[in-house]
Structure 1
Amino acid sequence: MNDNSLLGRTVRLVPLSTDHAEALFPSASDPDVWRWMPRPRPETVTQTHALLSRMIADPARRCFAVQRRDEGTVIGSTSLYDIDLADSRAEIGATWFDRSCWGGPYNTESKLLLFSHAFDDLRLARLALRTDNLNERSQQALTRLGLVYEGTLRSHMRRQDGTRRDSLYYSLLADEWPAVRDRLRARVIAKTTAPSGA
């Protein structure tokens, strides 16, 4: 196992590599998975490779592939980005999972591992996540994760269809982390012991 990997009960986050392009292409090219992403959906493995290469090249980003812990299958990706150690803050994004993993413990535990890395290893004071104002599923998920809604950046960026998107910002602070950590651990346990991961 890579020394920079983050290990949970059901997933392992390993440093992202362009070698993951083929495994990530089915989910990244799925229109439903990619619907709310602000960047173009890759249509080939080559385009997926180029996307991952750009992500990895960003010095203010730490990118991970998400693997099922039991068999090592790559099921998604997630990143810490806009990392600013001087101001002790970062954002989490570029997160996607194969549709077969929606509703299971994988996103919850991936966030638990990233939050832990950010607050316990990097000693950050603040994490932020943003989402499209039309993406109600994401907004509900962020609230369930224990993040606090901060506000909306109006007409923040252009969607792939050319329309303007408002971005809703959510955050988690270091002093809120212990309580959120306990809730997330309990959610992961519940999802891994419930029938069909529901």
Structure 2
Amino acid sequence: MTFADAPTLQHAAVRLERLDQSHREDLAAAVRPGELWRTWYTAIPSPEGMAADIDRRRAEHAAGRVAPWAVIDTSTGTAVGVTTYLNLDQTHRRLEIGSTWLARRAQGTAINPATKLLLLRRAFDELGCLAVEFRTHWHNHQSRAAIARLGAKQDGVLRSHRILPDGSVRDTVVFSILHAEWPAVRAGLVARLPPAEEWQ
């Protein structure tokens, strides 16, 4: 078992499947409402760029640098987003959950907490991680609030961290959850899911 493996992960609310081109049409449809790819502080592919983005993630996966999943809404069987393990550091037992986006209709539902429950459960309980990181743009207040709501602690801000395609410079906010904090984070996530949401 390596950090770059991407097995199917299942919960009643969501299924995470290894990303491939079979998800392209669903994902292209998922970004159209609200034209999510136009949000300046995120990197969400356009419908026309979805195939290339999937190929890029799959190439990174083949090289052992990431583990990419399509996020499947089990109520419809359709892909509504993407999430990834990246910055894999198996030696020091750390990884980042990132490069994540969800269709507008999936935001604010059980899909995101169930997804994080699956990913964190694998990271801590199966892979033995000591810490899991989350990183986001300083101006992505929605993402920062969602990460904090998980129970992650803010480690700091990497100022002038990255130059974005539009030429703007990103300050990156870094959060993490430690292994010792995982039981409380898990309890918080479970409490956010309807009682009927059982592991499958």
- TM-score band, normalised by the shorter chain? 0.7 to 0.9
C-alpha distance in structure 2 between counterparts of 1:106 and 1:191, whole Å? 14
Equivalent residue letter for 1:178: P
Alpha-carbon distance, 1:83 to partner: 1.2
| Greater CA drift, 71-80 or 28-37 | 28-37
1:7 to 10, 13, 17: 10
Alpha-carbon distance, 1:68 to partner: 1.4
Equivalent residue letter for 2:98: G
The answer on 1:161 being equivalent to 2:166 is: yes
C-alpha distance in structure 2 between counterparts of 1:102 and 1:70, whole Å? 15
Q: Matched residues, percent identical?
A: 34
Larger helix share, 1 or 2 = 1
- Check 1:68–1:9 CA distance in 2 against 1; reply closer, same or farther (3 A cut): same
C-alpha distance in structure 1 between counterparts of 2:172 and 2:35, whole Å? 20
1:85 to 77, 81, 90: 90
Q: Which residue of 1 aligns with 2:68?
A: 63
- Check 1:43–1:32 CA distance in 2 against 1; reply closer, same or farther (3 A cut): closer
C-alpha distance in structure 1 between counterparts of 2:173 and 2:159, whole Å? 9
Alpha-carbon distance, 1:33 to partner: 5.6
Question: Unpaired runs of 5+ in structure 1?
Answer: 193-198
Equivalent residue letter for 2:25: E
The answer on 1:128 being equivalent to 2:130 is: no
Alpha-carbon distance, 1:15 to partner: 0.9
Q: 1:82 aligns to what SS in structure 2? A: strand
Please tell me the root mean square deviation across aligned C-alpha atoms, in Å. 2.0
| Count of aligned positions | 187
Equivalent residue letter for 1:10: A
Alpha-carbon distance, 1:85 to partner: 0.9
Q: Which residue of 2 aligns with 1:52?
A: 54
2:46 to 21, 42, 48: 42
The answer on 1:176 being equivalent to 2:178 is: no
C-alpha distance in structure 1 between counterparts of 2:43 and 2:161, whole Å? 11
Q: Deviations over 1:21-77 (max 9, x none)?
A: 1111123455336623247x3341xx2111111112211211111111233111111
Question: Unpaired runs of 5+ in structure 2?
Answer: 1-5
- Check 1:38–1:188 CA distance in 2 against 1; reply closer, same or farther (3 A cut): same
TM-score of the superposition, structure 2-length normalised? 0.86
The answer on 1:19 being equivalent to 2:8 is: no
Q: Deviations over 1:160-196 (max 9, x none)?
A: 432111000000111110110011011122797xxxx
- Check 1:127–1:9 CA distance in 2 against 1; reply closer, same or farther (3 A cut): same
- Check 1:117–1:169 CA distance in 2 against 1; reply closer, same or farther (3 A cut): same
- Check 1:34–1:184 CA distance in 2 against 1; reply closer, same or farther (3 A cut): farther
- Check 1:190–1:152 CA distance in 2 against 1; reply closer, same or farther (3 A cut): farther
TM-score of the superposition, structure 1-length normalised? 0.87
